[in-house]
Amino acid sequence: MQTLSHDDVVVLLASISIMLLASRMFAELGRKIRLPVVMGEMILGIILGPSIIGHFFPSFFNNFFPETGNVAISMNAITQISVVMLLFVAGMEMQLPVVLKQGRLALYTSLTSLAIPFTIGFWLAWINPELLQLQQTNSKIIFAVFFGTAMAISALPVIARILMDMNIYRTKLGMLIMASAMFNDLVGWLIFSVVLAMMDNKGVGAGLGFTIFYVVAFGIIMLTIGRKLLSKSLPFIQTKLSWPGGVLAFSLGLCFLCAAFTQAMGVHAILGAFIMGIALGDSVHLNEKAREIIHQFVTNIFAPLFFVSIGLHVDFIAHFNLQLVLIVLVIASIGKIFGASLGAYMGGLDFKNSMAVGFGMNARGAMEILLGTIAYKAGIIQVDLFVALIIMALLTSITSAPLMKWIMRKE
């Protein structure tokens, strides 16, 4: 059996230590200037990676963050687990009753904020894939569906934080934005799971049809029967088992089980974790302390490892393509802001509040970074487009709150 050598263990533990300690420092610095935590972690990854440290101090970079060998394989396994747990927590933040209670206004906003940017992104990738650097060996339809999804998805955690900072989270406007973002994330990840299944099937044949059927069936069962069973079992888990170890082991155990199930079906493990998070987080019996413990455990330990690792594998300076960055940023912002604002206006909001909804939903943040990273590792997109998507996610997250405040202050 092949195992890590003594030196491999030392390097792995040291690299994890560097990533966790430094990411916390950068996250705290970012918080002082009111930037999302994920941005501090991303910036640290870029500094530690080939963009800066790898360029000026290559020996340090190669010693602590090797790109090949046992340490690289072990770190890849850790980041894979981190992605699964991140989607699990993102699913727990979704509240399906909130979406349903918003009625026609949320329905219009959700549909247009998803359909319009998706259509624009799909159309651009379909008519001019070379502009977005599609490889000739890749499928044009898979690339177009992915790019449409990338333009349509929002970032629920970032949006929630922005609304809380502005003290409008529990207002009608805040609930509308949250409900629409939840719908966007749910549909977006379902579409992206189908894209990954299309990659495995190399097209849209019978195998893909069965995969889509399994995905839909799994989602329906988990959000109906599974959700009820979880809700009934939670009081027993939380009162009879040791606290908080019992509920932690129960929750994360089911998370990994569902992730393994969807991975076995030919769909990425993230979908199973995401749906499991929705089913568990939607229960009224889930203790708020348990929810907070799971959230803090994942976002402060595993999330930094994932977001820092993104910068360790890509040279953001060498692969910065200004034209591509501007195209992605403009297409993403126009599609999302126009789509969300149009839906809110059609639903009955005035122009000012409709625009506020559009600006609020334009934040992409962690969800876009996750989407882009998985697509890049799956070979759907090239490194230049990946860098452009990351920059777009960071810029839209930074500008979302100031634009909302600006439009809401206007008479």
pLDDT at 380 over 80: yes
DSSP 206-245: HHHHHHHHHHHHHHHHIIIIIHHHHHHHHHHHHHHS-TTH
Q: With bands split at pLDDT 50, 70 and 90, how would you rate the model's confidence at 139? A: confident
Which pLDDT score is estimated for 6?
83
C-alpha 135/C-alpha 126 separation (Å) is: 13
Most confident of 19-33, 162-176, 344-358, 361-375: 344-358
In percent, how much of the chain has pLDDT > 90? Answer: 10
Q: Which of 27-36, 302-311, 370-379 has the lowest mean pLDDT?
A: 27-36
pLDDT at 202: 47
Task: Convert the pLDDT of each residue in 180-230 to its tens digit.
Answer: 887 777 777 777 777 777 766 544 444 566 777 777 788 888 888 888 888
Query: What confidence tier does 123 reach under pLDDT thresholds 50, 70, 90?
Result: very high
Residue 266 binned pLDDT confidence (cut-offs 50, 70, 90): low
CA distance 368 to 274: 15
Residue-wise pLDDT for 387-409, tens only, equals 899 888 888 887 887 888 888 77
d(CA 362, CA 235): 38
Selection from 158, 209, 26, 182 nearest residue 92 by Cα: 182
Residue 39 Cα distances to 150, 178, 344, angstroms: 19, 21, 29
Of 192, 154, 205, 204, the residue nearest 381 (C-alpha):
192
Q: 120 pLDDT band (50/70/90 cuts)? A: very high
* pTM of the complete model: 0.74
Which of 110-119, 220-229, 314-323, 368-377 reaches the highest mean pLDDT? 110-119
Domains present along the chain, CATH in parentheses: 6-80 (no CATH), 86-409 (1.20.1530.20)
| Side chain identity at residue 288, one-letter code | E
- How is residue 362 written in tokens? 């334009």
Instruction: Say what percent of the chain tops pLDDT 70.
Output: 89
Mean pLDDT of 19-48: 80
- Max CA-CA distance within the chain? 70
Confidence at residue 99, expressed as pLDDT on a 0 to 100 scale: 61
Mean pLDDT, all residues of the chain: 81
309-329: average pLDDT: 86
Angstrom CA distances, 95 to 77, 140, 151, 156, 157, stand at: 30, 35, 23, 11, 13
The one-letter amino acid at 380: I
For position 215, what pLDDT does the model report? 75
Please, which contacts does 30-39 make with residues 24 or more away whose CB atoms are closer than 8 Å? 34/165, 35/398, 36/158, 36/161, 36/365, 36/366, 36/397, 37/299, 38/158, 38/303, 38/307, 38/365, 38/366, 38/369, 38/397, 39/394, 39/397, 39/398
pLDDT in tens, 280-301: 887 777 777 888 888 888 888 8
Contact 291, 92 (CB under 8 A): yes
Instruction: Work out the pLDDT band at 339, boundaries 50, 70, 90.
Output: very high
pLDDT at 239 over 60: yes
Residue 237 CA to residue 362 CA, distance in Å, equals 39
For 58-75, write each residue's pLDDT tens digit. Answer: 888 888 888 778 888 888
Tens of pLDDT along 78-117? 888 888 888 888 778 766 666 666 667 878 888 898 899 9
Residue corresponding to tokens 């993104």: 310
Distance between CA atoms of residues 131 and 19, nearest Å: 35
Nearest to 255 by CA among 229, 225, 275: 275
- Per this entry, what is the length of the chain? 411
